[in-house]
Structure 1
Amino acid sequence: MKLGRLNHIGVATPSIEDSIAHYREVMGATKIHTPFDLEAQGVKVCFVDTPAHSTGSGSSDSGGTQIELIEPLGPDSPLTNFLEKNPLGGQHHVCFEVPDIEDARKEFEELGKRILGPTRIGAHGTPIFFVHPKDMQGMLTEIMETPKEGTHWSN
């Protein structure tokens, strides 16, 4: 398995609205996408763009890693237990890109890594799966197929 691009860091939050205000007012975020419900996964999602790099003149490039704010849609959300243990929210997962999701899944399985659930469509509109934190040095890890031209979610 070759390490792909870090696509995003998932941050669980009890309130996307409050988190948006934090990233805008405290962290200076200027590109915050419109929140949307991902009902199949029981969460509301909002992406915050970070710049790829700063030019030193106050401007920056786009294309950096995103922050994925995730809020439970209800009590049956997979985030409910996380937020019960971490009421303020916090880092939930990291997400790396791979060129082919089925090849990546096969490689992780051959390495004996536990995959949580089936491959499914994630918030970017591309196939994803999660690898158990106990098999990834304590981090819940999302593996995402690199978005193809025209399929990447943006808003």
Structure 2
Amino acid sequence: MAASMRTLAAGFLSRLQAAAPLVRTLSISHPSAQKSPGSLWKLGRLNHVAIAVPDLEKAKSLYKEVLGAPVSETVPLPEHGVYTVFVELGNTKLELLHPLGDKSPVASFLQKNKAGGLHHVCIEVDNIAAAIADLKKKQIRVLSEEAQIGAHGKPVIFLHPKDCGGVLVELEEA
């Protein structure tokens, strides 16, 4: 019985080890990835995941005091109607969002989601103007006519969630 279990475990382990390089190859984003044919822009790395929070100080404390992550100071962005805080994770960031005023898009999000939750994902692009033009041609709606300056001081645009599988997507020029 023990010998057959060892044989079974060894077989499983060898299949797992054989599959691991393939999984790593598929999951790694290569900086030298080619642009899609005819495209003037390239999708880059995940910049951050944004979480709307009803209590910004409590959320900051969770990531800083409990989990031990580096947490930025709170920065008001009146042009976007939010307070923002970035949590550094090494390979990416979390952006904590809290409403700045009643007309904030995050305020309406929190009215529907009292406990907060995933608000958007931000992906870098190498040429935001080309990305916007190309996506409009492909019938992907953008939430503003042109890019605005985002929390990192770089041009950003938001794509309509109904055109992106139910996810609000922010593109940021790298």
If the length of structure 2 is used for normalisation, what is the TM-score?
0.73
Q: Identity over aligned residues, as a percent? A: 44
- Native 8 Å contact 2:143 2:159 kept in 1: yes
In structure 1, give the amino acid aligned to 2:61.
A
RMSD: 1.1
Q: CA deviation at 1:129?
A: 0.4
Which portions of structure 1, spanning 4 or more consecutive aligned residues, are displaced by more than 6 angstroms? Answer: none
CA distance in 2, matches of 1:127, 1:112: 21
Larger Rg: 2
Q: Secondary structure at the match of 1:114?
A: coil
- Native 8 Å contact 2:42 2:126 kept in 1: no
Cross-structure match for 1:14: 54
Q: CA deviation at 1:19?
A: 0.5
Cross-structure match for 1:59: none
Q: CA deviation at 1:15?
A: 1.8
Q: Which has the higher helix share?
A: 2
Cross-structure match for 1:90: 117
Query: Number of paired residues?
Result: 133
CA distance in 1, matches of 2:116, 2:64: 17
CA distance in 2, matches of 1:17, 1:24: 10
Q: CA deviation at 1:113?
A: 0.2
Deviations 1:73-132 (A, max 9, x none): 111111111101111111100000001110110111111100001310000000000000
In structure 1, give the amino acid aligned to 2:137.
E
CA distance in 2, matches of 1:23, 1:10: 14
If the length of structure 1 is used for normalisation, what is the TM-score?
0.82
CA distance in 1, matches of 2:66, 2:113: 21
CA distance in 2, matches of 1:24, 1:119: 32
Gaps of 5+ in 1: 52-63, 147-155
CA distance in 2, matches of 1:11, 1:26: 17
